[in-house]
Amino acid sequence: MPKYNHAVYNPPLRTRDGENLVIAVLGAMGMGKSSLLNAILQECMFATGKSPEPVTKTIAHLTKAWRLPPVGRNVHIIDTPGMCDANLRDRDNADNIAQFFTSLSHGVSAFLIVIHVRETKLDSYTQNMLRLFEELLGPPFWKYAVFVFTHVDEHLVPQLNVDIEELLDPEDGFAAVLRQLDGFNIPPQAELPLVFVSNINTRNNDYAAECFGYLYDTVAARERKNGGRKFTCTFFQNVLSYQGLERRNFIIRSVKKAANVVIPAIANSCAVM
């Protein structure tokens, strides 16, 4: 049974983030997206659990202090269910997609792409999702991407060290392989940083503080490298120029168009939206 600790609420979408970090998590079902966010906040704000269905069913976002470790900044967090996979056919999901891109359109400091450390061969869902993002947001999206590998639990570190070294290999590690995959246009200057964390037992735990300190540093380094500017693009600016139903319809039209270009299978499942 999924564990629902707190009702997750959706405050109004208009936000004034200013100095706040804005992070969105992306990734396939059950990778540890919501757990990662709870660890950052040191509070169970997002439902987590093991389930054959997505535990996170709707977009949820909130702004709170980044507490692991205490960095003295607020973070606006956007949690997502999987999008545009075979289950995403109905109106609710179209609304989710519209709400998701609306929340992002105010600017994003980093996209955290969450992957289980034991499932690092990018599955087709994750590849398609990344292609869709690149098509919709443009290749500069990659300058804001951070890959977060979960389930690097402290007691597993001795076993995982070899895998981690392989993933980090500059010649044929994770980032190098991703750059060679068909259908991606990753700018050579985009660094594609990898971070390794465990989302369990994070309270008063030096190992967790070290992993999440590195995550914060990586996100902050992205921010500096991007001149302190949050990610935006023509699509986001267009989203902001519409209101209400027109905005929703514009987003759905744009997602379908992008999906048609990159992933015909997704376009079919979106066709009923």
- Closest by Cα among 75, 187, 190 to 144: 190
Choosing among ligand GTP, Mg ion, none, which partner's interface includes residue 200 (Cβ < 5 to 8 Å by kind)? Answer: ligand GTP
Interface with ligand GTP: number of residues (CB under 6 A): 21
Q: Which of residues 53-82 bind Mg ion (CB under 5 A)?
A: 55-56
228: left (phi over 0), alpha (psi -120 to 50) or beta: left
Binding to ligand GTP by residue 198, rule CB under 6 A?
A: yes
Kindly state whether residue 33 participates in binding ligand GTP, applying the rule CB under 6 A.
yes
Burial category of 31 from C-beta neighbours within 10 Å (exposed 0-12, middle 13-18, buried 19 and up)? buried
Give the footprint of ligand GTP on residues 152-171 (CB under 6 A). Answer: 153
Q: Quick one: what does residue 193 bind among Mg ion, ligand GTP, none, with the CB cut-off 5 to 8 Å set by partner type?
A: none
Does 50 bind ligand GTP (CB under 6 A)? Our answer is yes
Could you say whether residue 151 binds ligand GTP (CB under 6 A)?
A: yes
Tokens in use for 210? Answer: 């070290």
Of 200 and 221, nearer to ligand GTP (C-beta) is 200
Q: Which residue has the tokens 């048609």?
A: 260
Phi, psi angles (nearest 5°) of residue 220: -65, -35
29 is a contact residue toward ligand GTP (CB under 6 A): yes
Provide the strand spans (E) within the chain: 21-26, 60-65, 74-79, 110-116, 145-150, 194-196
Residue numbers at the binding site for Mg ion (CB under 5 A):
33-34, 55-56
Residue numbers at the binding site for ligand GTP (CB under 6 A):
29-35, 48-50, 54-56, 81-82, 150-151, 153, 198-200
